[in-house]
Amino acid sequence: MSTPHVVVVMGVSGTGKTTVGPLIADALGVPYAEGDDFHPPANIAKMSAGVPLDDADRWPWLDAIGSWAHERAGLGGVVSSSALKRAYRDRLRAAAPGAVFLHLTGDRALIGRRLAERKGHFMPPALLDSQFAALENLEADEAGVAVDVSGTPQEITERAVAALCRLDKN
Ligand SMILES: Nc1ncnc2c1ncn2[C@@H]1O[C@H](COP(=O)(O)OP(=O)(O)OP(=O)(O)O)[C@@H](O)[C@H]1O
Ligand SMILES: [Mg+2]
């Protein structure tokens, strides 16, 4: 790749952002940052109490991720952030205009199975349904690619790196 990308790995819960994000970063030879680690203490307190975050809580979190992405501009980096809504991606782009989005996509049944295994117990279908309901796919004017998450993490990583390379040629 000519200029190293700053990649935001996005997608609903369970698509494998935390699993494949670091593998993609390794493959690109750039650092990985976990989006969840950018929550301010107030958000962590809310989440620990089981209170869902609202958009007012999300802006400072997205700004912190955006700030990391901005610092990596020209150097390259991979950061995870579900970024389900266009407005969240707009906020990230406002801080880091060059960021590209890698949307991990998969069918609901597959993701549901993976989540059920991760949690070690049945995942209420409503929780994943609400994620899919909130999801707004990348639009034509947004720099990014969508990659399917069937197969092994290594296969997804290869697919993602190939898709990111194709992005450079367009
Ligand atoms: N390609 C894969 N094959 C099999 N299992 C996978 C794959 N990718 C991820 N998993 C498993 O699926 C579960 C969800 O993955 P992961 O935690 O990476 O998703 P996430 O997108 O980071 O979710 P969240 O938004 O909740 O943080 C984990 O238990 C992970 O080990
Ligand atoms: Mg995760």
Kindly report, residue by residue over 35-48, the tens digit of the pLDDT. 999 999 999 999 88
- Going by C-alpha positions, the residue among 66, 9, 73, 5 that lies closest to residue 38 is 66
14 lines ligand 1 (CB under 6 A): yes
pTM of the model: 0.96
130 lines ligand 1 (CB under 6 A): no
Report CA(81)–ligand 1 centroid distance (Å): 13
Q: List average pLDDT for each run of 10 residues in the chain, which is 170 residues long.
A: 86 96 98 97 91 94 98 97 98 98 96 85 77 96 98 98 89
Please compute, for residue 77, the number of CA atoms within 13 A of its CA located in the half-sphere on the CB side.
21
